[in-house]
Amino acid sequence: MEMRRYLSLLGQYSLQYAKVRMEHRWDFFISVFTMTLATVFGLAVVFLIFGRAREMNGWSFDELLFLYGFSLIPMALFNVISVNLYQFADQYLIQGKFDRVLLRPVHSLFQILFEQLRIEALGDAVLGLAIVGVCGPRLGVHAEPGSVAFLVVAVFCGALLYTAIFTILATVSFWWEDKVGVMPPVYNLIVFGRYPLDIYNGFLRVLLSWVIPFGFATFYPAAAVLRGEAYRVYGWLLPVVTGVFCMMALWVWERGVRSYSSTGS
Amino acid sequence: MPALIEVADLVKEFRSFRRGEGVASAFRALFVRQYTTLRAVDSISFRIPAGEMVGYIGPNGAGKSTTIKMLTGILMPTTGSVVSNGYQPFAQRAQYTRTIGAVFGQRTQLWWDIAVVESFRLLKNIYGVTDADYTARMKRFDEVLEIGRYLHQPVRKLSLGERMRCDVAAALLHHPPLLFLDEPTIGLDIVAKDRIREFLKHINRQNGTTILLTTHDLADIEELCARLMVIDKGKLLFDGPLVELKRRLWRENTVKFEVKDREQAQRLESLGLPGVTPERVSELSVRLHFPREMQATAEVIRKVLNAVEVTDIAIEEQSIDDVVKEIYTGSALTHR
């Protein structure tokens, strides 16, 4: 019952949001353009750096491309709902929009995540799927039910993991009312998760696996499909890590709401 | 009658860090922050029975909004308890918010970018209002608030008065038994204010909606609220009917007399009625001041009319503005 209500609200929010976006259509086109450009540059880097070497630390160029392509998909899903997390401190806490959110009988985090959707972010997911679809078979990963099911689950876990991590970071603003917050430096870490983690030194590897586990959203599931054996255990750990981080995010969020102080008036 | 809202020893403290001046201190603030604790609401207790309309007034920064935000479940009380509609607002927010409406005059509750009617549809879904109820209520809102004309404009294009009417309607779409309004008439012109007041009276009478409103406009109180609460510096200074407040603070009556000529004016000035202080306002007018409890106004007037040739009389009512000014500046209520 409650689930159905939230699903129907989700539909409503997307519909409303689509209408707003269509009103400001140039905004939309520009956003599509810049996102495409960013993706193209990212992909160009992979080609420029690894295209010449053809291999890196035992990872072939096709494998690197597969990793990169796969990493785009959960990120794209997360980017659809990430806008308000980035703006959370400024828009909701400092300008006091959070009052309105708390007055509604819908979970506050749900409202923050789904009130603004960036549908154009899905472009990256399409590109990612294409890359995986092309490189996969060349690497012996075929569209069998097993591997497809695993990758689908991995994509959703990855998107959830990003959401949880950035929710925790956004929550920090409840206590430290700074506009920018701690998100940008962490956001910049995401790119490291797009390459094989074993090319990094121990510190970065531990950081990306167990502290801010972007590796689980990108590298580990892709590697589990490509290399099996060595990475299978990480594949099994993925839902566990995701679950733990989601629970942490919800807990921290509740603590944050308790210390929300609203604005003066 | 059981209380709809029951507040006991409610306290809200805010901790904020002290900002010094200059770059050096800003740099220091990066590492060491000195905190100050501000008690915005200081052990307030009151109860409001169902069906009442209560005005909540106080100067800026007195703690009005903070109280309302605790009553609506936005802020968590530091200590003390609130039970409203049978819920604890903060702890049981998900269920509680279904049973209340809230309007914050300074900020719209509607979605800024989409047409008003879309906001209403979203709210309809959020609160699970049935189609039949929705249609009936929207019709009602249009009749009393005349919001039909701008339903299809985005909120950001509405004037303040139009927006406020929409906000009030939006807060009542799910038919809550309890309505909070934080400065619902702020910045509105007289026509728009009237509309809102009429509507509030209407729903209070028609549906028995309990209403708690804060305001700076004392006409709101005079027109709407039989009961008044005054807060300053976080403390509740007064809680009772408006007439009681006036009785307590209204110390002096004044009557202004216009007289026929100078001679009459002088005679009035030197009449020497016991307890009455004359004040020459202009050549042909004199104002008499006398303590409320000592002299009946009619008595004073009769005595004057017997002795002086008067052309006009004006009994000057002390306005509630004056009464409140007295509370704010002199904290008259605390030194009684």
* Tens of pLDDT, residues B76-121: 999 999 999 999 999 999 999 999 999 998 888 888 888 899 899 9
Question: For the residues of B60-76, what is the DSSP string, one character each?
Answer: TTSSHHHHHHHHTTSS-
Contact B241, B273 (CB under 8 A): no
User: Which residues in chain B have Cβ-Cβ distances shorter than 8 Å to A92?
Assistant: none
Three-class SS state of B9: strand
Q: For A265, which of B75, B90, B106 is closest by C-beta distance?
A: B106
- Interface check A21 vs B, CB under 8 A: no
Q: What is the pLDDT of residue A34?
A: 86
Q: What is the pLDDT of residue B19?
A: 65
Interface of A with B in 57-96 (CB under 8 A): 96
User: Which residues in chain B have Cβ-Cβ distances shorter than 8 Å to A20?
Assistant: 113-114
User: Which residues in chain B have Cβ-Cβ distances shorter than 8 Å to A19?
Assistant: 114, 118
Whole-angstrom CA distances from A155 to A178, A219, B4, B216 are 32, 11, 49, 54
Q: Say which DSSP state B24 is in.
A: H
Model ipTM over 0.85: no
Those residues of chain B that have pLDDT short of 50 are 1, 335-336
3-state SS track over chain A: CHHHHHHHHHHHHHHHHHHHHHHCHHHHHHHHHHHHHHHHHHHHHHHHHHHHHCEECCEEHHHHHHHHHHHHHHHHHHHHHCHHHHCHHHHHHHCCCHHHHHCCCCCHHHHHHHCCCCHHHHHHHHHHHHHHHHHHHHCCCCCCHHHHHHHHHHHHHHHHHHHHHHHHHHHHHHCCCCCCCCHHHHHHHHHHHHCCHHHCCHHHHHHHHHHCCHHHHCHHHHHHHHHCHHHHHHHHHHHHHHHHHHHHHHHHHHHHHHCCCCCCC
How many whole angstroms separate alpha carbon B185 and alpha carbon B148? 20
Task: Choose from B36, B93, B124 for mutation: most chain A CBs within 10 A.
Answer: B93
Q: For A20, which of B61, B109, B113 is closest by C-beta distance?
A: B113
- Interface check A34 vs B, CB under 8 A: no
User: Which residues in chain B have Cβ-Cβ distances shorter than 8 Å to A96?
Assistant: 107
Contact B107, A96 (CB under 8 A): yes
- The alpha helices in B173-330, defined as continuous H runs, are 190-207, 218-224, 242-249, 262-269, 297-307, 320-330
Question: Nearest chain B Cα to A13, which residue?
Answer: B122
Contact B155, B119 (CB under 8 A): yes
Three-class SS state of B177: coil
Q: What is the pLDDT of residue A265?
A: 54
Q: What is the mean pLDDT of each run of 10 residues along chain A (265 residues)?
A: 84 82 80 84 82 79 90 94 90 88 93 88 91 88 84 94 95 79 82 86 89 91 85 89 96 94 73
> At a CB cut-off of 8 Å and minimum separation 6, what does B151 contact?
B115, B116, B117, B120
Contact A12, B122 (CB under 8 A): yes
Considering only CA atoms, which of B309, B304, B313, B227 is closest in space to residue B273? B304
Contact B118, B152 (CB under 8 A): no
**Mean per-residue pLDDT of chain A:** 87
Indicate yes or no: pTM above 0.95.
Answer: no
Task: Choose from A28, A84, A104 for mutation: most chain B CBs within 10 A.
Answer: A104
Q: What is the pLDDT of residue B1?
A: 46
- B18 burial level (CB within 10 Å; 0-12, 13-18, 19+): exposed
Task: Choose from B60, B75, B90 for mutation: most chain A CBs within 10 A.
Answer: B75
How many whole angstroms separate alpha carbon B334 and alpha carbon B336? 6
Q: What is the pLDDT of residue B120?
A: 93
How many whole angstroms separate alpha carbon B289 and alpha carbon B306? 18
Are the beta carbons of B114 and A20 separated by less than 8 Å? yes
